[in-house]
Structure 1
Amino acid sequence: MNSFSRSEATFTSFREQCSAWVYRPTVVSDERMPVVVLANGFGGHKGIRLHAFAERFAAVGLVAVAFDFRSFGASGGTPRHMLSIRGQRADWDAAVGFVRSLDYVDPARVGAWGTSLSGGHVLELAARDRELAAVVAQVPHVSGLAAARSVGLRASARLSRVAIADVVAGVRGTAPVYVPVCGEPGDTAFLTSPDAPAGFERILAASEGPTDDNTVGARAALAMPGFSPNRRARNITCPVLMQIGSQDVVTPVAASRRCAERIARVEVREYDCEHFAPYVDPWFETFVHDQVEFFERTLATSTV
């Protein structure tokens, strides 16, 4: 295993400063290195277990760059915790551009790692960036319609009412209306599957950095049904590892399987677990082992 260092960095995404951690392996070589770019799922920041995955990648000689979306974590942007699909798409593009500019990175060996909502982002990224070398999509959001159906009509109605109130607040210039990321079934929250509260708490307990404000502006609920990366899956040409939890009800399994069928160079692995399982033991080791093996294989060949 390689030793590595972690440093702070920033890059600009449409006038906002995005915060990143750069994990750089300690190697004695002039050869440019492959890199994996990571971002978290719905409402998350890089301290919520991204460090665990990034450290494993750096330990095998891959540069790893974990970043925060605008208005989340240590990145700039106000109001805070406002989730914009368009904004996060721009942040992904800026992050990939940033790592390609690093003088010790091989710009032709850039991999993208995303989980849940960001798992959808990396699939869409691969569909529009034909120079991307490899993608890991962990329990990915692939269909807005399928995700909305899994939430149920009553929960969707509750969220929609609060989301409209948040939109009105934005128009009036008053304080945003926030909703918890996770809640019990029947709560007004974004994720209310039976496994959500306990699963999310396990993740937070193993995380680094602030974990006391896990809310998102309610207006995000209006954007989610329209975000369906599966629509562009046939445009993906790079290798993809799609990791599916067979008991996942947050990002429905059937939709993920259908999406995978549209990707030419896909490896599908299913695990007998729920949506929140990959981040912590006992499932973390299995997921990250498969990811390391995939990235070592797909990012192995130097272009310089």
Structure 2
Amino acid sequence: MVDREDFEFDSRGTTCRAWFYPAQNESMDSPDGVPAIVMAHGLGGTRDAGLEPYAAAFADAGLAVLVFDYRYFGASGGRPRQLLSVSAQLADWSAAIAAVREIEGVDAERIALWGTSFSGGHVIAAGAADKRVAAISAQGPMMDGRAAVLNVLRRHGLWHMLRLITAGLRDSLADLAGAEPYRIPLVARAGGLAAMATADAYDGYQAIAPEDWRNEMSARMLLTLALYRPGRKIERLRCPTLIQICDEDTVAPAEAASAAAARGGDNVVERHYRIGHFDIYRGAGYRQSSSDQLAFFKRSLAPRRCEERRATDA
């Protein structure tokens, strides 16, 4: 079993809790320390919902890893619970990156970001904001909120979309009144009212979630989802970026991820898998995706590669 330690950091006055996995060998070491990967989950996910196998594999390969929960979710602080705020989550990413750079033995110039689903878009936004980030991996990424909204409309119809909008308005009114958020399920079976209600969403998420995982989120974010388009920031990235696309994805449109990857130019490595959104976390999907990620990180975070990049930037 790979060693890990409890870790916490402050994000604008809220305590975010994480696991820190020290590098298990010196294969990626340099005089400045070891590279580190910062990881967080997608929509409503927590660090114990299928991320541990990735973190352990990266640590076994000589990389340090920090896996954190967003504020309002999991083990992290903040109230009200299950409040999903894009701006708050991006602030948590920034704070996590800053915190890992301060860990003794970590090379502050070899920090990589790993995101999945909703956080697959977050890592693009975070990397665009922080030019020191050395590498980014985004699997099954939600690159375009507008495309995601149109995907829901196409798959579930106008009535379903109106129900989601009504839930978002109800939650926004609760916020104005100072009341508890109006929450909806994150996942439901096909036809149910939830943020994700495709045929594979409920069973797929439940397969990786721990027993105490809360299947709910505040609904207000649904009103502004179409405005969140992190894939448009990919041209600002200065680091190698791996985009892993699930071609049969029913949640995060594969076409939007491919379009973003194309805009990224030579910095982007694009990989396709003939699987669904949730298949990448388990079985053959996990084995292939994590193998590709390891190869990418070993190449992108190698001391010589990073030194060449620093010299070019200078």
Would you call these one fold, judging by a TM-score over 0.5?
Answer: yes
Find the counterpart in structure 1 of residue 310 from structure 2: none
Find the counterpart in structure 2 of residue 172 from structure 1: 177
Instruction: Call closer, same or farther: CA 1:199–1:289 in 2, change over 3 Å.
Output: same
Following superposition, the deviation at residue 223 of structure 1 comes to 2.5
Instruction: Call closer, same or farther: CA 1:222–1:237 in 2, change over 3 Å.
Output: same
Q: For residues 5 and 128 of structure 2, what CA distance do their matches in structure 1 show?
A: 30
Higher mean C-alpha deviation, range 115-124 or range 30-39:
30-39
Find the counterpart in structure 2 of residue 281 from structure 1: 283
Task: State whether residues 184 and 193 of structure 1, in contact with CA within 8 Å, keep that contact through their aligned partners in structure 2.
Answer: yes
Higher mean C-alpha deviation, range 24-33 or range 195-204:
24-33
Equivalent position to 2:11, from 5, 9, 13: 13
Letter in 2 for 1:13: S
RMSD of aligned alpha carbons: 1.6
> How much identity, in percent, do the aligned residues show?
36
1:49-85, Cα deviation, whole Å (9 max, x unpaired)? 1111100000011000000000001000000010100
Q: Which runs of 5+ in 2 are unaligned?
A: 308-314
Equivalent position to 1:189, from 170, 181, 194: 194
SS in 1 for 2:271: strand
Higher mean C-alpha deviation, range 44-53 or range 29-38:
29-38
Q: For residues 15 and 107 of structure 1, what CA distance do their matches in structure 2 show?
A: 23
Q: For residues 166 and 14 of structure 2, what CA distance do their matches in structure 1 show?
A: 30
Task: State whether residues 24 and 61 of structure 2, in contact with CA within 8 Å, keep that contact through their aligned partners in structure 1.
Answer: no
* TM superposition score normalised by structure 1: 0.94
Following superposition, the deviation at residue 23 of structure 1 comes to 0.2
Following superposition, the deviation at residue 38 of structure 1 comes to 0.2
Following superposition, the deviation at residue 27 of structure 1 comes to 4.2
Question: Which has more helix, going by share of residues?
Answer: 2
Q: For residues 219 and 286 of structure 1, what CA distance do their matches in structure 2 show?
A: 36
Letter in 2 for 1:177: Y
Instruction: Call closer, same or farther: CA 1:263–1:183 in 2, change over 3 Å.
Output: same
Q: For residues 16 and 47 of structure 1, what CA distance do their matches in structure 2 show?
A: 20
Q: For residues 284 and 104 of structure 2, what CA distance do their matches in structure 1 show?
A: 37
Do structure 1's residue 200 and structure 2's residue 205 form an aligned pair? yes
Q: For residues 184 and 301 of structure 2, what CA distance do their matches in structure 1 show?
A: 39
Find the counterpart in structure 2 of residue 301 from structure 1: 303
Find the counterpart in structure 2 of residue 156 from structure 1: 161
Find the counterpart in structure 2 of residue 43 from structure 1: 44
Following superposition, the deviation at residue 25 of structure 1 comes to 2.3
Q: For residues 21 and 68 of structure 2, what CA distance do their matches in structure 1 show?
A: 11
Following superposition, the deviation at residue 200 of structure 1 comes to 1.5
